[in-house]
Amino acid sequence: MPVFLIRRVLTMVLTALCLTFVVFYLTNLPPNLEKLAKSEASSRMSDADVESWIERNGYGRPVLVRYGEWLGITPGWTRTEDGVTTGRCIERGQDPATAPLRCGILQGDWGFSTVFKQPVSLIIAERLGATGVLMLWVMIVMVPASLLIGVLSGMREGSRLDRGLSIFSIASTATPEYVSGVVLIALFASTSTGLSPWLAEQGWISGKTLFMGTATSALDSGITFWNFGLPVMTIALYGIGYIARMTRASMTEVMTAQYIRTARLKGVSFGNVVMKHALRNALIAPFTVIMLQFPWLLNGVVIVETLFNYKGFGWTLVQAAGNNDIELLLACSVVAVFVVLMTQLISDIGYVFLNPRIRVS
């Protein structure tokens, strides 16, 4: 097991390096730098000015060297002009002698966001935390619901229950979030249409709407059913259908296996056959899918966070990309790569525990 883990971690590091380099290269293409120069200095700069700005701020050197600086393995650039030494690692007003030699993500220096005018590490920590809370609730809703639906419909293939649940899961997974989000807002979060006016009239809800159409207040004044219900539901709905279909397929296959017949003919009752004999075997396939949902959620969350104006990781990503915030964009991609690789590692390890036939040596 330790050997396996070490090998996996090394593979992860290598993958992360490759992926971040690709992102680094693409975000540092000359047009992006030109845009950066114009937005940082002056939008009416001449081409020569842009050229010299890029040169002065260390963007003119080869990509590989700058990638090394960003990582923190090569020393940051320094430049002495008119007796003033500036450099990547020298903050304004700092004595160049006391500045560290290297400053990259290995040293914990993620750079400075040009949009938010804050250190990138601060922004990422805050936004990722917000999205983490959202994802946690999505998972809490999505995983049990989808497994329940999948197992219920898979245990008796072709039954009326199976047909009904299958229609629901196909419909929900065929509806993208930007559609279901809008529909849900119209249904539950509007004072003039949908259910809310009727519910308010009946006196069953105290506010004007059942849910709130925006989740902004969740960040300031805490999460409530009222402000968080809709975003969670929108994301979960899509995933529920998907995972439920996977679970159902796996469950129906397991239910026709010979060991299920063995169990039935041992005299085990149907409920126990499902719970004790079928469930663990049926969960092996959906488990991988559930783990794959994490990276997917991280991206899918972009739409929902924008829709419900929830300032999380997805929203930050959109801001960074839209405003050519190179450092922030890079950090976002590092986080995304890390989440993908971590969940894959967890899913591989979990797989071993679910399936006794797989052993890592």
Partner 1 sequence: MTATTDWDPSKPILEIENLSISFFTRLREIPAVMDFSCTVMPGEAMGLVGESGCGKSTVALAVMRYLGKNGRITGGSIRFKGRDLTTMDDEALRLIRGSEIAMIYQEPMASLNPAMRIGAQLAEVPMIHEGIGREASWNLARQIVADVRLPDPDRILKAYPHQLSGGQQQRIVIAMALMSKPALLILDEPTTALDVTVEAGIVDLVKDLGRKYGTSILFISHNLGLILDVCDRLCVMYSGEAVETGAVAQVFDRMRHPYTQALFRSIPLPGADKNTHPLVSIPGNFPLPHERPPGCNFGPRCTYFQAGRCDAQKVPMVPLAGGGRHETRCLRSAEIDWDKPPVAAKAVARTPVGEVVLKMTDLRKYYEVSGGLFGGSLKKVVKANETLSFEAREGETLAIVGESGCGKSTFAKVLMGLETATSGKIMLFDQDIQDIPIEKRGTDTVSSVQMVFQNPFDTLNPSMTVGRQIIRALEIFGQGASDAERHDRMLELLDLVKLPRAFADRMPRQLSGGQKQRVGIARAFAGGARIVVADEPVSALDVSVQAAVTDLLMEIQRKNRTTLLFISHDLSIVRYLSDRVMVMYLGHVVEMGTTDQVFSPPYHPYTEALLSAVPIADTRVKKKRIVLEGDIPSAMNPPPGCPFQTRCRWKSQVPGNLCDTMMPPIRVLAGDHQIKCHLSDAVLAGMEPVIRIAAQ
Residues contributing to the site for partner 1 (CB under 8 A): 3-4, 7, 158, 257-259, 261-269, 276-277, 280-281, 284, 354-357, 360-361
Within its chain, how far is the Cα of 330 from the centroid? 15
Least distance CB 277 / partner 1 (angstroms): 5
Percent helix, strand and coil across the chain, each to the nearest 5: 70, 5, 30
Q: At what angle do helices 326-354 and 120-155 cross, to 10 degrees?
A: 30
CB-nearer residue toward partner 1: 44 or 266? 266
Residue pair 89/101 in contact (Cβ under 8 Å)? The answer is yes
**Could you give the CA distance from residue 245 to residue 152 in angstroms, rounded to a whole number?**
11
Query: b or e along 271-295 (b: 16 or more beta carbons within 10 Å of the residue's beta carbon)?
Result: eebbeebbbebbbbbbbbbbbbbbb
Least distance CB 158 / partner 1 (angstroms): 8
Residue type, 221: S
Least distance CB 252 / partner 1 (angstroms): 12
Least distance CB 299 / partner 1 (angstroms): 29
Sign of CA dihedral 186, 188, 191, 197: positive
Residue pair 250/146 in contact (Cβ under 8 Å)? The answer is no
Determine which helix (DSSP H) or strand (DSSP E) holds 335, and give its type and residue range.
helix 326-354
Which residues, at least 6 apart from 71, have a Cβ–Cβ distance to it below 8 Å? 104, 105, 106
Residue pair 248/318 in contact (Cβ under 8 Å)? The answer is no
Measure Cα distances from 31 to 36, 43, 83, 119, 141 in Å.
9, 14, 31, 24, 44
CB-nearer residue toward partner 1: 219 or 255? 255
Sign of CA dihedral 63, 69, 71, 75: positive
CB-nearer residue toward partner 1: 8 or 102? 8
CB-nearer residue toward partner 1: 3 or 84? 3
Q: Which of 327, 328, 324, 302 is nearest to 315 (CA)?
A: 302
CB-nearer residue toward partner 1: 183 or 354? 354
CB-nearer residue toward partner 1: 92 or 359? 359
Least distance CB 40 / partner 1 (angstroms): 46
Least distance CB 166 / partner 1 (angstroms): 17
Least distance CB 66 / partner 1 (angstroms): 33
Least distance CB 262 / partner 1 (angstroms): 5
Question: At 104, is the secondary structure helix, strand, or coil?
Answer: coil
CB-nearer residue toward partner 1: 159 or 193? 159
Least distance CB 344 / partner 1 (angstroms): 14
Question: At 166, is the secondary structure helix, strand, or coil?
Answer: helix
CB-nearer residue toward partner 1: 281 or 344? 281
**Could you give the CA distance from residue 103 to residue 92 in angstroms, rounded to a whole number?**
15
